[in-house]
C-alpha cells in the first residue's frame, strides 16, 4: 500500500506514546530548588498579574483625571494675576472724575495713584489654586510612579525567569523576593493608589470652593454630592473591619486595620499588666505582637474562613455537585466526603442530612455501584461514603423525618451490597460486608435511642423491620425481602428472621457481628491491605454485643474466637497473621462483658506480650 492509499498522516501520530523526559539533576540541591521554583513561579505569575492590573488602572484613570484638572487649573490661574480690564476701567473712572473736578474747580487727583497700587491676589483665589495644583501634581506623580512600578516589575520578572539550573535560579529568586518584601514593594503600590484617591478628594474640595465664588446654589449641590461620595467611601473603608468577607475596601482600610490592631495590642498589654498583678491569667493573651503587627490581613481572613458556617458549607457542596457530571468526577467527590465530614467538629450531622435528603447523594453513590463489575477502588470509595453518611443521618442529633429519600436509598443500597457479597474479588466482598454491618449498627442504635426517649418515630413507611429482616437473616440481603409484606417489629423490639424471632435489643448487635465474621474472616490473608483491615476493625468496633445476648449466639461467637485464636497461634511466627491478630484483639475487647464467655468485665482478658506483639488469651468459666 502506497502513501496515497494509507491516507493523510495525523499530526499527532508520532506523539501518541511519547513521554516527557524526566529531569536529570546534576547538583545535589537541584531537586529541592526545583520543588521550590515550581510554587514560586506560580506565585510570581500571580504577583505580576496583580501589579500589571493595578498600574494599568492607575495610568488610565490618571490620564483622564489629569486632563480634567488641567482645564480647571488654566481657568483658575487667571485669578492670581491683575486683571488688565480692571486697570482700564479704573483709568476711565479717573478721567471722568477729573473732568467733573475741572468743571467744578475742585482738586484733581493724580492719575498715577490708582495704577501704582500693588496687586494682591484674593485669599479665595490662592486657596482654590492651591487645591487644584496640588491635585494635579499628585495625579502626575501617581502616573510616574505607576510607570516606574511597571518597569521594576518587568525587571524582577525577567531576573527570576532566566534560564539555568535550579540550584542557581532558586537562590536568585529567593534573594530578589526577599528584596521585594524588605523594601515593601506591595505597600509602595498601595501608597500610590492612596495618593491618587487623595488627589481626587483635593479636586472635589477645590470644585466646591470654585463654585462657591460664583453661585451658592450650584456650590450647595456640589457640596451635597461630595458629602454623599465621602460617606460611601467611608463605609467602604470600614466595612471590612466588621465583616471580613466584605469584598469592598479602600487604601484607608489597611490604615484603619493597623490602628485597630494597635489599640487591641495596647488593650492586651494593659489587661495583661492588670491581671498579672492580681495573679490571674488574662483573657487577651492570644493577641500577641506577632499576630497584630506581623501576620497582617490575609491570616485574619484565613482564621475567619476556617470558621465556616453550615449554610456556607451546604452552598459549597451544592455548587460542587451542580458543576460535575462525569463518573470520575463523582468518584473523586465521594472520595473527599468522609474526610470533610470527619473534619467538622459540629455541623457534620446537618451537612450529612442536607446531602441525603436534599441532594439525594445516596442515589448518586448507588449509581456508581450498579455497573455490572465495579472496580475495587470504586467500591472502596462508595462504601466509605455510605458509611460516613448513614452514621450521621441515623446517628445522634438526626431529626426523625417523613422524607422517603433515605428509606428508598437504604433499600437499594442494601440490595446492591447484598449482590456484591457474591463477588469473586475479596476487597469488594469485604467492603460490602463491612458496610452492611455498619448500616445494621446504625439502625440498631437509632432504634435504641428512639425506645429510650419514648418516641415511635421510625424511617418512612415503617421499613425498619423489613430492613432488619434483610440485614440479619441467614440469607444475604439481595432484595428478596418485601418491605410491604415483612412482619413489623413486635413491641418495637422483635423481628422475624429465618429460624425464628430475633430480639433486636438483646441479640441484634451480636447477630450482625457473627454475620460480619462469617463473611470477612475467610478473606483475610497476608496480602490484605492495611486500609481494608482498618475498615473491618471500624465495623467491628461499631457492633457492641449486649450482656443479655442469647446463649446460642454466645456459643457461636466462642467457637469463632477459638478458631481465630488457634489460627493466630499457628501464624504467630510466620509474619502472615497480623491482620487476624488485630481482628482477634478487637473481638476480645467487644465481647469482654458477655456472660458465659469472658466473665463480666474487661479484666477477664489476660494479655501477654512477646517479641511479635500483643497476643490475647481468654478463659472460659467451668
The answer to whether residue 587 sits within a structural domain is: yes
Cell numbers for 307 = 470558621
Q: Which of 102-106, 110-114, 400-404, 599-603 has the lowest mean pLDDT?
A: 599-603
CA angle 494, 366, 525 (to 5 degrees): 80
Q: Which of 71-85, 227-241, 605-619 has the lowest mean pLDDT?
A: 605-619
Q: How far from the centroid of its chain's Cα atoms is residue 330's Cα? A: 19
The share of the chain scoring above pLDDT 90, in percent, equals 12
Across 192-201, 283-292, 438-447, 502-511, the highest mean pLDDT is recorded for 192-201
For the chain, percent helix, then strand, then coil, each to nearest 5?
70, 5, 30
Q: Residue 145: which of 106, 195, 110, 214 has the closest Cα?
A: 195
What lies within 8 Å, CB to CB, of 249 at 6+ separation is 236, 237, 239, 240
Cell numbers for 612 = 511479635
CA angle 372, 375, 379 (to 5 degrees): 95
Q: Residue 212: which of 200, 220, 204 has the closest Cα?
A: 220
Cell numbers for 174 = 529567593
What lies within 8 Å, CB to CB, of 159 at 6+ separation is 172, 176
**Residues pairing with 490 in the sheet:** 494
- Residue at a domain's end among 306, 339, 372: 306
Alpha helices in 461-577 (DSSP H): 464-472, 504-520, 530-542, 551-570
Tell whether the model's pLDDT for residue 418 goes beyond 90.
Answer: no
- Rounded distance between C-alpha atoms, residue 286 and residue 273, angstroms: 14
- Kindly state whether residues 371 and 500 are assigned to the same domain: yes
The answer to whether residue 106 sits within a structural domain is: no
What lies within 8 Å, CB to CB, of 499 at 6+ separation is 474
The answer to whether residue 200 sits within a structural domain is: yes
- Kindly state whether residues 293 and 383 are assigned to the same domain: no
Across 236-245, 502-511, 556-565, the highest mean pLDDT is recorded for 236-245
pLDDT of residue 259: 80
- Rounded distance between C-alpha atoms, residue 115 and residue 82, angstroms: 11
Cell numbers for 302 = 484565613
- Rounded distance between C-alpha atoms, residue 210 and residue 203, angstroms: 10
Mean pLDDT taken over the chain: 74
- Kindly state whether residues 364 and 441 are assigned to the same domain: yes
Pairing relation of β-strands 494-497 and 500-503? Answer: antiparallel
Cell numbers for 403 = 422524607
Residue 457 backbone class (left: φ over 0; alpha: ψ -120 to 50; beta: rest): beta
Q: What is the pLDDT of residues 59-80, one digit of tens each?
A: 999 999 999 999 998 888 877 7
- Kindly state whether residues 284 and 411 are assigned to the same domain: no
The answer to whether residue 89 sits within a structural domain is: no
Q: pLDDT band for position 197 (50/70/90)?
A: very high
Phi, psi at 427, each rounded to 5° = -60, -40
Which one is predicted more confidently, 123 or 454? 123
- Kindly state whether residues 291 and 331 are assigned to the same domain: no
Which one is predicted more confidently, 24 or 611? 24
- Rounded distance between C-alpha atoms, residue 584 and residue 593, angstroms: 16
Q: Residue 557: which of 601, 614, 507, 510 has the closest Cα?
A: 510
* Average confidence (pLDDT) over 146-162: 90
- Rounded distance between C-alpha atoms, residue 486 and residue 495, angstroms: 9
In the 3-class helix/strand/coil scheme, how is 269-305 assigned residue by residue?
HHHHHHHHHCCCCCCCCCCCHHHHHHCCHHHHHHHHH
CB contact at 8 A, 401 and 357: yes
pLDDT of residue 486: 40
Domain that holds residue 149: 39-81+121-214
The answer to whether residue 225 sits within a structural domain is: no
Q: pLDDT band for position 289 (50/70/90)?
A: very low
* Average confidence (pLDDT) over 537-556: 77
Which one is predicted more confidently, 192 or 579? 192
Placement of cell 475479596 in the chain: 426
The answer to whether residue 236 sits within a structural domain is: no
- Kindly state whether residues 555 and 527 are assigned to the same domain: no
* Average confidence (pLDDT) over 379-402: 79
- Kindly state whether residues 139 and 271 are assigned to the same domain: no
Q: What is the DSSP letter of 53?
A: H
- Kindly state whether residues 555 and 537 are assigned to the same domain: no
- Residue at a domain's end among 189, 214, 239: 214
Across 371-375, 464-468, 544-548, the highest mean pLDDT is recorded for 371-375
Q: Residue 56: which of 123, 139, 168, 150 has the closest Cα?
A: 150
The answer to whether residue 7 sits within a structural domain is: no
Q: Residue 131: which of 77, 203, 219 has the closest Cα?
A: 203
Burial track 384-418 (b if 16+ CB lie within 10 A, e otherwise): bbbbbbbbbbbeeebeebeeebbbbbbbbbbbbbb
Tell whether the model's pLDDT for residue 314 goes beyond 60.
Answer: yes
Q: Which of 123-132, 448-457, 514-523, 596-605 has the lowest mean pLDDT?
A: 596-605
Which one is predicted more confidently, 278 or 607? 278
pLDDT of residue 452: 55
Q: Which of 117-126, 416-425, 525-534 has the lowest mean pLDDT?
A: 117-126
Domain count of the fold of the chain = 4
Tell whether the model's pLDDT for residue 264 goes beyond 70.
Answer: yes
Q: pLDDT band for position 512 (50/70/90)?
A: confident
Q: pLDDT band for position 446 (50/70/90)?
A: confident
Tell whether the model's pLDDT for residue 567 goes beyond 70.
Answer: yes
pLDDT of residue 607: 37
- Kindly state whether residues 369 and 382 are assigned to the same domain: yes
Q: pLDDT band for position 489 (50/70/90)?
A: very low
The share of the chain scoring above pLDDT 70, in percent, equals 68
- Kindly state whether residues 291 and 325 are assigned to the same domain: no
The answer to whether residue 179 sits within a structural domain is: yes
Q: pLDDT band for position 110 (50/70/90)?
A: low
Q: What is the pLDDT of residues 451-483, one digit of tens each?
A: 554 444 445 445 666 777 777 765 444 444 444
- Kindly state whether residues 533 and 556 are assigned to the same domain: no
Phi, psi at 494, each rounded to 5° = -115, 150
Q: Residue 491: which of 531, 540, 442, 451 has the closest Cα?
A: 451
- Residue at a domain's end among 525, 542, 559: 542
- Kindly state whether residues 622 and 538 are assigned to the same domain: no
Amino acid at each position: 500500500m502506497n502513501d496515497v492509499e494509507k491516507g493523510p498522516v495525523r499530526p499527532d501520530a508520532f506523539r501518541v506514546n511519547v513521554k516527557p523526559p524526566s529531569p536529570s539533576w546534576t547538583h545535589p540541591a537541584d531537586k529541592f530548588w526545583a520543588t521550590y521554583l515550581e510554587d514560586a513561579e506560580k506565585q510570581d505569575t500571580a504577583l505580576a498579574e496583580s501589579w500589571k492590573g493595578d498600574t494599568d488602572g492607575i495610568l488610565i484613570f490618571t490620564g483622564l483625571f489629569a486632563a480634567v484638572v488641567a482645564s480647571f487649573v488654566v481657568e483658575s490661574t487667571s485669578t492670581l494675576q491683575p486683571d488688565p480690564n480692571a486697570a482700564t476701567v479704573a483709568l476711565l473712572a479717573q478721567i471722568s472724575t477729573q473732568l467733573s473736578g475741572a468743571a467744578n474747580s475742585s482738586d484733581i487727583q493724580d492719575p498715577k495713584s490708582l495704577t501704582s497700587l500693588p496687586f494682591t491676589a484674593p485669599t479665595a483665589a490662592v486657596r482654590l489654586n492651591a487645591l487644584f495644583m496640588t491635585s494635579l501634581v499628585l495625579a502626575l506623580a501617581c502616573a510616574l510612579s505607576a510607570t516606574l512600578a511597571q518597569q521594576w516589575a518587568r525587571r524582577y520578572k525577567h531576573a527570576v525567569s532566566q534560564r539555568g539550573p535550579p540550584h542557581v535560579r532558586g537562590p536568585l529568586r529567593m534573594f530578589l523576593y526577599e528584596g521585594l518584601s524588605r523594601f515593601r514593594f506591595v505597600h509602595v503600590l498601595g501608597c500610590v493608589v492612596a495618593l491618587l484617591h487623595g488627589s481626587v478628594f483635593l479636586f472635589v474640595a477645590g470644585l466646591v470652593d470654585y463654585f462657591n465664588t460664583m453661585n451658592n446654589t450650584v456650590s450647595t449641590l456640589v457640596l451635597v454630592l461630595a458629602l454623599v461620595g465621602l460617606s460611601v467611601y467611608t463605609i467602604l473603608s470600614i466595612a471590612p473591619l466588621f465583616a471580613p468577607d466584605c469584598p469592598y475596601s479602600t487604601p484607608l482600610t489597611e490604615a484603619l486595620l493597623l490602628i485597630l490592631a494597635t489599640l487591641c495590642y495596647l488593650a492586651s498589654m494593659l489587661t495583661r499588666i492588670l491581671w498579672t498583678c492580681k495573679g490571674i491569667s488574662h483573657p487577651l493573651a492570644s493577641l500577641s505582637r506577632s499576630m497584630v503587627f506581623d501576620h497582617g490581613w490575609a491570616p485574619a481572613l484565613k482564621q475567619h474562613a476556617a470558621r465556616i458556617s453550615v449554610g456556607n458549607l451546604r452552598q459549597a457542596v451544592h455548587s460542587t455537585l451542580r458543576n460535575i457530571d462525569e463518573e470520575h468526577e463523582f468518584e473523586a467527590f465521594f472520595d473527599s466526603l468522609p474526610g470533610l465530614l470527619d473534619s467538622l467538629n459540629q455541623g457534620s450531622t446537618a451537612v450529612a442530612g442536607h446531602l441525603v435528603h436534599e441532594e439525594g447523594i445516596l442515589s448518586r453513590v448507588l449509581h456508581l455501584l450498579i455497573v455490572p463489575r465495579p472496580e475495587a477502588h470504586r467500591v472502596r470509595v462508595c462504601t466509605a461514603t455510605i458509611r460516613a453518611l448513614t452514621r450521621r443521618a441515623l446517628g445522634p442529633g438526626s431529626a426523625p423525618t417523613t422524607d422517603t429519600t433515605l428509606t428508598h436509598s437504604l433499600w437499594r443500597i442494601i440490595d446492591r451490597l447484598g449482590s456484591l457479597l457474591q463477588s469473586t474479588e475479596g476487597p469488594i466482598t469485604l467492603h460490602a460486608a463491612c458496610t452492611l454491618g455498619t448500616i445494621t449498627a446504625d439502625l440498631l442504635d437509632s432504634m435504641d435511642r428512639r425506645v429510650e426517649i419514648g418516641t415511635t418515630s421510625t424511617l418512612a413507611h415503617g421499613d425498619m423491620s423489613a430492613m432488619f429482616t434483610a440485614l440479619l437473616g441467614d440469607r444475604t440481603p439481595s432484595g428478596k425481602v418485601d418491605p410491604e409484606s415483612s412482619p413489623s417489629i413486635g413491641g418495637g423490639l422483635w423481628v422475624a428472621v429465618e429460624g425464628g424471632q430475633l430480639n433486636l435489643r438483646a441479640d441484634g448487635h451480636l447477630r450482625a457481628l457473627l454475620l460480619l465474621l462469617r463473611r470477612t474472616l475467610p478473606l483475610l490473608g497476608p496480602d490484605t491491605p492495611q486500609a481494608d483491615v482498618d475498615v473491618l476493625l471500624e465495623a467491628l468496633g461499631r457492633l457492641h454485643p449486649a450482656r443479655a445476648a442469647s446463649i446460642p449466639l454466645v456459643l457461636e461467637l466462642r467457637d469463632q474466637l477459638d478458631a481465630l485464636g488457634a489460627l493466630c497461634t499457628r501464624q504467630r511466627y510466620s509474619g502472615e497473621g497480623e491482620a487476624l491478630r488485630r481482628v482477634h484483639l478487637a473481638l476480645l475487647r467487644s465481647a469482654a462483658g458477655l456472660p458465659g464467655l469472658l466473665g463480666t468485665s474487661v479484666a477477664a482478658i489476660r494479655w501477654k506480650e512477646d517479641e511479635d506483639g500483643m497476643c490475647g488469651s481468654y478463659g472460659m468459666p467451668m
